[in-house]
């Protein structure tokens, strides 16, 4: 078990999950939802939310069976000392890959939108250093910092959506069923892997005093993220129309650029950029922390901190590997997101079944 | 303590990071306020940029404006033939002496010649560029855009683009312009299948000979004025009324100032307007009213037949401003008669507008937006092909006018009666 680096309650858990997932709404993910659903992109977001909440069921069941344990300990307990660490390693690799692509996506968005002359490496190094520092301080520190930052991030994004409303054309949200029920349903289920990063809470399950807190944090955080996704997609399609919205990898930034209330209020994107930076840092920090924790668990190390610096160093060259922005988008959409089902659904489900078969966990571990 | 010192040192060091790559001093930039696009030689675009002279813009109000004389000009114009906007900016940097930036561009002026040819290759740059905001005004000019920018004279302000912005407010006050004509709205309407773009249309007034022109009024109550034809003298030489109608990327016609009123009514974007109508009791006289929006435009569309059928109801409120004939329209029977007469005149203008847009084969009004909810899926909607069916649509609109107020006196002057 990881040494004590703080506990988090339901409130911090919800905030952590919401911040971790909602940072994706600044990136290309709303565009993916519109691509599948067309004018009914918001329905895809709705199904994605419900699907994502369902994905959490095995993780919640595992946490209930093994209270006070993180994924690494649960794996070792349920699947043994050979298979268990391997499964943890898979989750760790996926979390790290997600972290790498998040770093690349945010770097690309900064360069494309506000810092066109800045090379990517200084941005990546700055972000990696911040994430390294936050991860080193531990989960509780990240959660508390997020508690302070989240109102800024969420409030700022909400204001962008509200100020965009005068431009909203409801007709753009028709035909109501978009490309039809089946593509919407399948697309929604496919993109429920957008919330696969929520497996982070299982990775750091030891930080929750009560397994019920973990479940509530995951469910409520995912639900809030889903509501945010529905709102962003709704406004995005209602303003740009589905054809343009589906080609829009910087949704909130582009919405902020359109805010034009006469001479009174315009050029608000400079404000959204600030929230963007904060959201990116929170997400990268959480993912780096969870990657290190799971990796140390898989390797049987007593401490995750020695792994942080090597991981942070690896993060940068790996983020630079995709040759262009589009390649990184495609890798994320076609490889990393589908593999999210393995991380958040298949592995926890397998571990739960193994625990059942091998009669591990349950009352024996009840606190 | 050691940590605090380290944190303080890092904070101080962060000050050094501010100007690494994207640092720009304000005076290093040349700020483009407006872009003009004309046909150039050998298939190139002729790009004109109006760059701000900050010291002149900050001068006293009411100066020479954009087209002021000699040294009083607040903008510098440069025109060059280039394959693209980026190419033009690149060339501009070769002789401007400052870094030319589009971050403060307020409007793009496309000449009617370019618009009618549908040569809108520049659009992609407008959408992709991080410098250009999609909220910049999209204006079609009757003249060459270069001439327009060169000769335009703003009055009451030094900043010609602020003047253009102020003209756009005319939509709210007098319903003589489209509700919006920005790059974003133009591009969005190219992609939806239920409407076509209608943009601002501007022209330079004829040389001022001290006599108001005739327009196309011909004694009608409501003159059909296009931009550039207003019967007037004095003031700025820029007229921005009516709109340029597009079918896809190609301009197909011009809507006049008073055709914009029924256009806005059918779009449910009408706010208010001061309008003069023929007096039902005295065809030689006019009645002036202030029209404002009543109930929202209600509309039903039937797409089951071979031709779409549209039934609509426009509800307006009116305030009487002037009655030249001296008829006392505060009498209930006469009031009803006047309401009906105004409603009929508006109905006529609506049918004329619809007829013109159907002739152009362009649903610039966006009536298709009322049809699209009738289709369940994008595929079904696309198969219906609204834009092809629109020219044959059967449209019937009922107008209801309610005279709510009669001004500060209820009855006309005794001598008029």
Q: What is the pLDDT of residues A297-333, one digit of tens each?
A: 999 999 999 999 999 999 999 999 999 999 999 999 9
Looking at residue B217, its pLDDT comes to 44
Looking at residue A304, its pLDDT comes to 92
Looking at residue B257, its pLDDT comes to 87
Residue B91 CB coordination number (10 Å): 16
| Chain B residues close to A172, C-beta within 8 Å | 188, 192
| Chain B residues close to A174, C-beta within 8 Å | 372-373, 375, 381
Contact B192 A171 (CB under 8 A): yes
Please state, rounded to an integer, the average pLDDT across all residues of chain B: 85
Contact B265, B164 (CB under 8 A): no
Which of these ranges, A191-200, A262-271, B112-121, B260-269, has the smallest mean pLDDT? A262-271
Looking at residue B64, its pLDDT comes to 44
Percent over 90 (pLDDT), chain A: 67
Task: Give the chain B residue nearest A267 (alpha carbons).
Answer: B133
Chain B CB within 8 Å of residue A147 CB: no
Cβ pairs A/B, distance under 8 A: 77
Looking at residue B264, its pLDDT comes to 94
Locate all alpha helices (DSSP H) within A3-119, ordered by sequence: 10-22, 29-37, 41-65, 71-113
Show the tokens assigned to A323: 């040759």
Q: What is the pLDDT of residues A120-163, one digit of tens each?
A: 888 899 899 999 999 999 888 899 999 998 998 899 899 999 99
Q: Rounded to whole angstroms, how far apart are CA atoms A157 and A294?
A: 32
Residue B329 CB coordination number (10 Å): 25
Residue B114 CB coordination number (10 Å): 25
Looking at residue A274, its pLDDT comes to 81
Looking at residue A122, its pLDDT comes to 87
Chain B CB within 8 Å of residue A39 CB: yes
Over 60: is that where the pLDDT of A265 sits?
Answer: yes
Task: Give the chain B residue nearest A183 (alpha carbons).
Answer: B377
Chain B CB within 8 Å of residue A325 CB: no
Looking at residue B60, its pLDDT comes to 54
Contact B192 A172 (CB under 8 A): yes
Looking at residue B223, its pLDDT comes to 52
Q: Rounded to whole angstroms, how far apart are CA atoms A126 and A112?
A: 17
Which of these ranges, A165-174, A287-296, B167-176, B267-276, has the smallest mean pLDDT? B167-176
Mean pLDDT for the stretch of residues A188-215: 91
Show the tokens assigned to B26: 């304000």
Over 60: is that where the pLDDT of A284 sits?
Answer: yes
Percent over 70 (pLDDT), chain A: 97
Chain B CB within 8 Å of residue A172 CB: yes
Looking at residue A366, its pLDDT comes to 47
Q: What is the pLDDT of residues A348-361, one digit of tens each?
A: 999 999 999 988 87
Contact A110, A274 (CB under 8 A): no
Show the tokens assigned to B338: 């006047």
Show the tokens assigned to B260: 């914009």
Beta bridge partners of B282: B279
The whole-model pTM stands at 0.88
Across chain B, which has 417 residues, the per-10-residue mean pLDDT values are: 77 64 82 93 87 74 47 81 91 88 92 92 88 91 92 80 84 87 90 91 76 50 65 78 93 92 92 90 88 91 93 93 86 90 94 94 93 94 93 94 85 63
Contact B133 A179 (CB under 8 A): no
Chain B CB within 8 Å of residue A266 CB: yes
Q: What is the pLDDT of residues A209-253, one digit of tens each?
A: 888 899 999 999 999 999 999 999 999 999 999 999 998 888 888
Looking at residue B140, its pLDDT comes to 95
Looking at residue A5, its pLDDT comes to 64
Pairing of strands B198-204, B137-141: parallel
The complex's ipTM works out to 0.85
Which of these ranges, A6-10, A177-181, B131-135, B383-387, has the smallest mean pLDDT? A6-10
DSSP labels, A167-207 = G--GGGG-STTTT-HHHHHHHHHHGGGGGGGGGHHHHTGGG
């Amino acid at each position: 078990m990881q040494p004590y680096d703080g506990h988090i309650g339901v409130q911090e858990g919800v905030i952590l999950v919401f911040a971790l997932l909602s940072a994706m709404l600044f990136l290309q993910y709303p565009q993916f939802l519109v691509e599948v659903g067309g004018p009914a992109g918001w329905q895809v977001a709705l199904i994605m939310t419900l699907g994502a909440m369902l994905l959490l069921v095995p993780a919640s069941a595992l946490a209930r069976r093994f209270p006070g344990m993180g994924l690494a300990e649960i794996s070792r307990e349920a699947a043994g000392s050979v298979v268990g660490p391997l499964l943890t390693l898979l989750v760790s690799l996926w979390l790290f890959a997600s972290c790498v692509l998040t770093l690349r996506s945010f770097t690309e968005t900064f360069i494309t939108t506000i810092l066109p002359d800045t090379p990517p490496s200084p941005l990546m190094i700055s972000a990696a250093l911040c994430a390294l520092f936050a991860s080193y301080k531990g989960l509780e520190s990240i959660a508390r910092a997020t508690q302070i930052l989240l109102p800024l991030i969420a409030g700022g994004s909400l204001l962008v959506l509200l100020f965009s409303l005068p431009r909203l054309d409801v007709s753009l949200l028709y035909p109501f069923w978009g490309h039809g029920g089946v593509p919407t349903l399948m697309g929604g289920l496919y993109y429920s892997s957008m919330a696969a990063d929520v497996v982070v809470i299982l990775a750091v399950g030891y930080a929750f005093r009560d397994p019920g807190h973990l479940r509530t944090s995951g469910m409520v955080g995912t639900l809030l993220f889903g509501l945010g996704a529905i709102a962003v997609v709704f406004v995005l399609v209602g303003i740009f129309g589905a054809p343009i919205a589906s080609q829009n990898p910087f949704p909130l930034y582009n919405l902020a650029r359109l805010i034009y209330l006469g001479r009174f209020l315009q050029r608000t994107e400079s404000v959204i950029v600030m929230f963007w930076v904060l959201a990116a840092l929170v997400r990268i920090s959480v993912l780096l922390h969870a990657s290190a924790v799971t990796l140390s668990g898989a390797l049987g190390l007593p401490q995750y901190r020695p792994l942080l610096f090597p991981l942070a160093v690896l993060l940068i060259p790996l983020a630079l590997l995709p040759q262009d922005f589009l390649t990184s988008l495609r890798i994320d959409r076609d490889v990393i997101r589908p593999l999210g089902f393995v991380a958040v659904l298949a592995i926890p489900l397998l571990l739960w079944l193994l625990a059942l078969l091998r009669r591990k966990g349950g009352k024996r571990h009840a606190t | 303590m050691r940590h605090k010192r380290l944190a303080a040192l890092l904070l101080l060091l962060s000050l050094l990071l501010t100007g690494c790559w994207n640092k720009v001093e304000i005076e290093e930039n040349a700020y483009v306020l407006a872009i003009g696009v004309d046909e150039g030689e050998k298939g190139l675009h002729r790009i004109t940029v109006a760059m701000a002279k900050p010291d002149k813009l900050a001068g006293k109000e009411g100066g020479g404006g954009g087209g002021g004389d000699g040294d009083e000009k607040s903008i510098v114009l440069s025109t060059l033939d280039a394959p693209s906007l980026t190419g033009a900016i690149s060339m501009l940097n070769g002789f401007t002496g400052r870094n030319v930036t589009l971050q403060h561009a307020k409007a793009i002026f496309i000449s009617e010649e370019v618009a009618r040819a549908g040569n809108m290759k520049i659009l992609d740059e407008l959408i992709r560029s991080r410098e250009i905001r999609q909220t910049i005004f999209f204006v079609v000019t009757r003249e060459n855009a270069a001439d327009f920018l060169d000769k335009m004279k703003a009055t009451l302000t030094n900043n010609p683009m602020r003047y253009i912005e102020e003209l756009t407010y005319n939509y709210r006050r007098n319903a003589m312009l489209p509700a919006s004509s920005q790059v974003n709205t133009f591009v969005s309407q190219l992609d939806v299948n239920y409407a076509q773009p209608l943009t601002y249309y501007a022209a330079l007034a004829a040389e001022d000979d001290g006599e108001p022109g005739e327009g196309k009024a011909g004694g009608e109550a409501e003159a059909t004025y296009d931009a550039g034809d207003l019967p007037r003298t004095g003031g700025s030489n820029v007229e921005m009324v009516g709109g340029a109608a597009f079918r896809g990327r190609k301009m197909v016609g011009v809507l006049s100032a008073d055709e914009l009123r029924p256009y806005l009514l059918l779009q449910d974007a009408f706010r208010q307007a001061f309008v003069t109508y023929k007096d039902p009791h005295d065809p030689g006289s006019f009645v002036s009213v202030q029209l404002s929006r009543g109930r929202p435009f209600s509309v039903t569309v039937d797409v089951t037949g071979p031709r779409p059928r549209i039934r609509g109801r426009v509800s307006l409120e009116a305030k009487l401003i002037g009655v030249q004939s001296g008829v006392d329209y505060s009498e209930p029977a006469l009031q009803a008669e006047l309401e009906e007469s105004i409603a009929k005149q508006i109905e006529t203008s609506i049918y004329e507008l619809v007829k013109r847009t159907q002739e152009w084969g362009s649903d610039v009004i966006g009536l298709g937006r009322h049809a699209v909810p009738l289709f369940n899926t994008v595929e079904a909607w696309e198969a219906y092909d609204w834009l092809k069916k629109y020219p044959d649509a059967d449209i019937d609109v009922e107008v209801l006018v309610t005279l709510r107020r009669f001004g500060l006196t209820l009855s006309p002057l005794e001598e008029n009666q």
